[in-house]
Amino acid sequence: MRILVTHNFTKLYPASCCRAALTALALVASVSSFAATKKTPNRVTSAEAKQAAIRLTEMGYGSGRTALIAFQKYEGRKATGQLTRGDFEAIMNASAPEARDAGYRHVEVDLDRQVLLLIDDDGAVKKVLPVSTGSNKHYHEKSMSGLAYTPRGRFKIYAKIAGWRKSPLGMLYYPNYFSDGLAIHGNSSVPDTPASHGCIRVPNSAAIDLYKRIPIGTIVLIYDRQSFVSAKDWVANN
């Protein structure tokens, strides 16, 4: 006998069979829903997000998206500013950053990681910020040309300006000058990679606080994996 398949179960089957069929369909839907959930394991709960925020603060990264980006950069993770399951687990298992040249108050800029570390008198890292340094590319802008290079070595903050400063190549927010017009300063654009003309950009939201923490005379160490110069002899001589 040939049976036409329709969507009206009650006409084709008794009530008991109909109930069994609907139960089976509900079970399939439930399994499908569970499978869809299993395909998005990257999500974290709000409670976990709070745990991660607390831990980031404890390690010196501060709070908010800037803190997460700084952590991702320091740990060599993809700097998205979005908290994934992998980031959460990394945060909860991470140790606080350590100074390359401990034992005195100074600033370190790690060019490979693209982060700035603020170190206190005891050599502990008190603040970590994401930065963007010189792109190492030649530029021709505003009747000027040169190599966008951030120098390596040891420097001291020799001048500071509160507020905005107009430079030949753009606006600087709360600049702290360390070498030949180059400064650590706030900028609205701090990409994941080196992109400046040679200055060290920090997020505008962190510029004022950093300005207050690094007075004139503060030592600044700038290095990559090939170059590092300690300034402990400067401290000893002073």
**pLDDT at res. 40:** 55
Closest CA to 151 of 120, 209, 203, 109: 109
- What is the separation of C-alpha 63 from the centre of its chain, rounded to a whole number of angstroms? 11
Measuring CA to CA, which residue among 199, 110, 220 is closest to residue 154? Answer: 220
Q: Judge whether residue 31 has pLDDT over 60.
A: no
Cα–Cα distances in angstroms (integers) from residue 72 to residues 29, 36, 61, 221, in the given order: 38, 28, 10, 21
Residue-wise pLDDT tens digits, 92-114: 999 999 999 999 999 999 999 99
Q: What is the pLDDT of residues 161-193, one digit of tens each?
A: 999 999 988 899 999 999 999 999 999 999 999
Q: Would you say residue 42 has pLDDT above 70?
A: yes
Determine the topology of domain 106-237 in CATH.
L,D-transpeptidase catalytic domain-like (2.40.440)
Mean pLDDT of 26-49: 58
Bridge partners, residue 172, by sequence? 165
- d(C-alpha 137, C-alpha 71), whole Å: 27
User: What residue ranges do the domains of the chain occupy?
Assistant: 106-237
User: What count of Cα atoms within 13 Å lies in the side-chain half-sphere of residue 45?
Assistant: 3
User: Strand 153-156 vs strand 138-141: parallel, antiparallel, or unpaired?
Assistant: unpaired
pLDDT of 61 above 80 = yes
Q: Compute the distance between CA of residue 60 and CA of residue 48 in angstroms, rounded to an integer.
A: 19
pLDDT score of 237: 87
Instruction: Pick the closest to residue 68 from 81, 55, 58 (CA basis).
Output: 81
**Residues contacting 194, CB < 8 A, separation 6+:** 111, 114, 132, 133, 134, 135, 136, 148, 150
What's the pTM value of the predicted model, to 2 decimals?
Answer: 0.81
pLDDT digits (tens, 9 = 90+) for 126-167: 999 999 999 999 988 877 899 999 999 999 999 999 999 999
What are the percentages of helix, strand and coil residues in the chain, rounded to 5? 30, 25, 40
Q: How far apart are CA 109 and CA 119, in angstroms?
A: 11
Q: What is the mean pLDDT of the chain?
A: 86
